[in-house]
Amino acid sequence: MTKRFFSTLCLALLATVTTIWIVACQPSTTVTDSKTPSTTSPATSSGSGGVKDTLRLGALLPITGDLSSIGAPMIKSIDFLVETVNKCGGVLGKPITYLKEDDRTDPPAGAEAMTKLVKVDNVGAVVGSFASSVSTAALAIAVPNKVVMISPGSTSPVFTERAKKAEFQGYWYRTAPPDTYQALALANLAYKKGARKVATLVINNDYGVGFEKAFVDAFEKLGGTIVNKGNPTRYDPKATTFEAEAKGAFGSKPDAVAAILYPDSGGAVIKAAFEQGLTKDVKILLTDGVKTEDFPKLIGSTPEGKLILAGAIGTVPGADGKSLTEFTKIYKEKTGQDLGAFVPHSYDAAALVAIAAEAAKDGTGDGIKSKIREVANAPGKEVSDVCEAIKLVKAGTDIDYQGASGNVDLDEYGDVKGSYDVWEVQPDGKITVIDRVSP
């Protein structure tokens, strides 16, 4: 019996059998960084997700799949946060119970994993997901079960629109700003670089289409033209060939192509455009989804040995928090890796959950929800160290958490605002931040 079949069988049982059978179905592959059992006693259970006297924290991120090159370092930063907090006394007087699931950059897999985190592991909050399409699928499970979701990287503007309609009931937050702002930053960058005719090329999901709409609006307001506006180029990440999509975006000879992609599938589209001779003299504009040094290598080199993507530029939510320098240093010492995209945002997402649970004296979703904006926003004592923050709220002190990614002030729709780093692919494939822009 395969792991996938077993997980599917468990989902069917979740809908039809008792809690005893649900617990019996728990896959043995779950990663738990605490010795606390995954079941909870009736004495500590609540109508809200999670348990009152313990913080049970889930992580739902792409360890495998199209976004794994960015997702894996994000997981490491949450590992680091949990280890740090548990060493300084934990939350609610106990170590955080930490459970990780791989969403495989796939909405059905993400929904399956979220169902397990909610129904079997009884978490109060989940850090995730990264792909907006996966977060959409996971929210359909988290919200009715009163589990807080806080994403370090789902940037689709759709979430803001839905939050304004009160669809999430206060259970949704994110530490990366929505693409409404990044699209404006990318449009400004394109115009600044001299592009006046731009085509869009986007992955056909919440992230790509939401970004496309915001970018088109912003670029046209600057006086630019979207050459394929009437027939936008949106690609299916599960397709096997991309020649038509490459021609649709690059064939009209634009000054630049705003490419909103995921690494594996998006790389195939760019490579198809190059093989058709369509990329010459076209500036390629990229975003956060492909800010990884594996991406230029994936696309490959010209016959002359030059990287196809050399000179491409992009934007990514930046990090400029008061503790960023110290966090960067400690993270590298701990993991041996340089700071990747969304790593500080992941750390801050988990930190806010931990601080909010302590402030509420309650590890349930309702408890965390009641305090998360309070500990993230002014007024209060500004504090960057998560252990100090937990100590202060435990003593009843109001705080304003200043994260590694930024000040993480959460508005009524769960959003933060931020600046954006401008990055460029160097001839050797390295990615260098060359500027910072603000919408």
Question: Per residue, what are the HEC states of 208-236?
Answer: HHHHHHHHHHHHHHCCCEECCCCCCEEEC
Contact 104, 88 (CB under 8 A): no
Least confident of 19-23, 181-185, 257-261, 357-361: 19-23
Q: How far apart are CA 243 and CA 12, in angstroms?
A: 40
Q: Are residues 161 and 201 in the same domain?
A: no
What percent of the chain stands above pLDDT 90?
83
Confirm whether 414 is domain-assigned: no
Counting the structural domains of the chain, the total is 2
Confirm whether 412 is domain-assigned: no
What separation, in Å, do the N-terminal and C-terminal C-alpha atoms of the chain show? Answer: 51
Name every residue whose Cβ is closer than 8 Å to that of residue 227 and which is 6 or more positions away in sequence.
Answer: 197, 198, 199, 252, 254
Q: Are residues 172 and 184 in the same domain?
A: no
Q: Are residues 288 and 191 in the same domain?
A: yes
Confirm whether 21 is domain-assigned: yes
Contact 404, 319 (CB under 8 A): yes
Q: Are residues 24 and 163 in the same domain?
A: yes
Least confident of 1-5, 103-107, 218-222, 232-236: 1-5
Q: Are residues 152 and 12 in the same domain?
A: yes
Q: Are residues 186 and 86 in the same domain?
A: no
Domain enclosing residue 358, as ranges: 3-32+46-176+322-401
Q: Are residues 299 and 169 in the same domain?
A: no
Q: Are residues 140 and 26 in the same domain?
A: yes
**Per-residue pLDDT at 437:** 77
Confirm whether 38 is domain-assigned: no
The pTM of the full predicted model, rounded to 2 decimals, is 0.83
Could you check whether the bond before residue 77 is cis, i.e. omega within 30 degrees of 0?
A: no
Please report, for the domain that includes residue 119, its CATH number.
3.40.50.2300
pLDDT category of residue 337 using cuts at 50, 70 and 90: confident
How far does CA 201 lie from the centroid of its chain? 21
Q: Are residues 60 and 102 in the same domain?
A: yes
Confirm whether 261 is domain-assigned: yes
Q: Are residues 187 and 279 in the same domain?
A: yes
Q: What is the mean pLDDT of residues 298-314?
A: 95
**Residue 211, beta-bridge partner list:** none
**Per-residue pLDDT at 322:** 87
pLDDT category of residue 439 using cuts at 50, 70 and 90: low
How far does CA 438 lie from the centroid of its chain? 20
Confirm whether 94 is domain-assigned: yes
Q: Are residues 258 and 310 in the same domain?
A: yes
Coil, strand, or helix at residue 137? helix
Confirm whether 83 is domain-assigned: yes
Confirm whether 426 is domain-assigned: yes
Among 33, 30, 9, 130, smallest CA distance to 73 is for 130
Q: Are residues 152 and 10 in the same domain?
A: yes
